[in-house]
Amino acid sequence: MHAFMQEQVLPAEPTYAAQRAAAGPDDHTVPPVVEDLKHAARERELWNLFLPAESGLTQLEYAPIAELSGWSLDLAPEATNCAAPDTGNMELLHLLGTDEQRKQWLEPLLAGEIRSAFAMTEPAVASSDATNIATRIERDGDEYVVTGRKWWTSGVLDPRCALLVLMGKTDPEAPAHRQQSMLLIPRDTPGVRVVRDLPVFGHHDQHGHGVVEFHDVRVPVTNLLGEEGGGFAAAQARLGPGRIHHCMRALGAAERALELMVTRAQERVAFGGPLADQGVVQHQVAESRLELDQARLLCHQACQVIDAAGNREARTLVAMAKVAVPRAAMSVIDRAIQVHGGAGVTDVTPLAAMYGWHRAMRLFDGPDEVHLRAIARAELSRHRQSGTGDAPKAGPGQ
């Protein structure tokens, strides 16, 4: 993976930028250089490494590979067929899909022939609380009828997107966590309308983040993913590995920011010497190394527990990593921007784009506060179970 990044991915970045610039911000077709890199990654057998059933890798073994891919977020995850949201959707299909569903959707996704999107968040309700999801899925004979409005449906604008995995309500009268179901909706189903692309801090991503309307959308009942009422549990299953994979990649992005910071500090001369000679800059470098290595250890600890005991046992550690890693990445990227001066906030370095993405990461796959709430609840309940709290206790997941 290291050789692939050095020899092929990082050198391809200017071509990617030029191809996107030529196509314009409203264009969502994949730049040809990405398809070239996909071929190259397959030849190197760097393909579908995120899925233990396909790769034979544990999460801990996958972590440094995904981290390397984070050095080039627009190129490397997709080149290796390890990009969100497809990875989460493939995990879901792998876990819950029928033979027919896997053949129709999982196989072309694993082959990198199509892409997919995950439609859960809605503009009208606080979607960090998944029980709020209001899109209706109603049964009508042998069909389900879907009506609702989603947003932040990442990937839906890419012309290769063929499938939407949608979360909606099948039974509003059921207990709160049994009301939702997941449905497979072919992108070209009549009634699916992409209203517009949402920019992230003014930047339009290649795959796009869609506002999507579902008006009287009909699919056969065989398109149900898993069981009716199982949508909430399926979303939890999908988000566990997805979150830790985002953390792995964020560490790679932050490592790149630190490398850029160090190089710049050594080369840039102000007030009679390189910036690296200034104590304050040295502090920034040291703090960055400290925060990054701490965050990585937490991420790897979560991986270790996923491998040893499963997603459920690891959920508090995953929540901790999901808060700590973007925080660390944000502060490292912020310092790197500062050391670059004006160059840091424009497009002559990848820092400004990295900053925007990792700020957004504090929201997607659950905002910080929701994870902090889960961490606090686990801590409080552990404390209650062990009595006074005076005795030494093992950490989460141990």
**Residues near ligand FAD (CB under 6 A):** 85, 118-121, 126-128, 152-154, 200, 209, 360, 363-367, 369-370, 373
Shortest Å, Cβ 177 to ligand FAD:
16
**Residue among 5 and 133 whose Cβ is closer to ligand FAD:** 133
122, HSE (Cβ side, Cα atoms, 13 Å):
21
**Residue among 1 and 165 whose Cβ is closer to ligand FAD:** 165
Q: The dihedral of CA 85, 128, 63, 331: what is its sign?
A: positive
**Residue among 10 and 200 whose Cβ is closer to ligand FAD:** 200
Shortest Å, Cβ 61 to ligand FAD:
26
**Residue among 120 and 276 whose Cβ is closer to ligand FAD:** 120
Q: What are phi and psi of 146, to 5 degrees?
A: -110, 130
Q: 260 and 349 in contact (C-beta within 8 Å)?
A: yes
**Residue among 154 and 349 whose Cβ is closer to ligand FAD:** 154
CA distance 381 to 315: 14
Shortest Å, Cβ 360 to ligand FAD:
4
Residue 219: left (phi > 0), alpha (psi -120 to 50), or beta? beta
Length of the chain measured in residues: 398
Please choose, from the candidates 100, 223, 124, the residue with its C-alpha nearest in 3D space to the C-alpha of residue 170: 223
Which positions ≥6 away from 142 have C-beta within 8 Å? 220, 221
Shortest Å, Cβ 73 to ligand FAD:
12
Shortest Å, Cβ 119 to ligand FAD:
6
Q: 54 and 110 in contact (C-beta within 8 Å)?
A: yes
**Residue among 225 and 261 whose Cβ is closer to ligand FAD:** 225
Q: 338 and 282 in contact (C-beta within 8 Å)?
A: no
Shortest Å, Cβ 363 to ligand FAD:
5
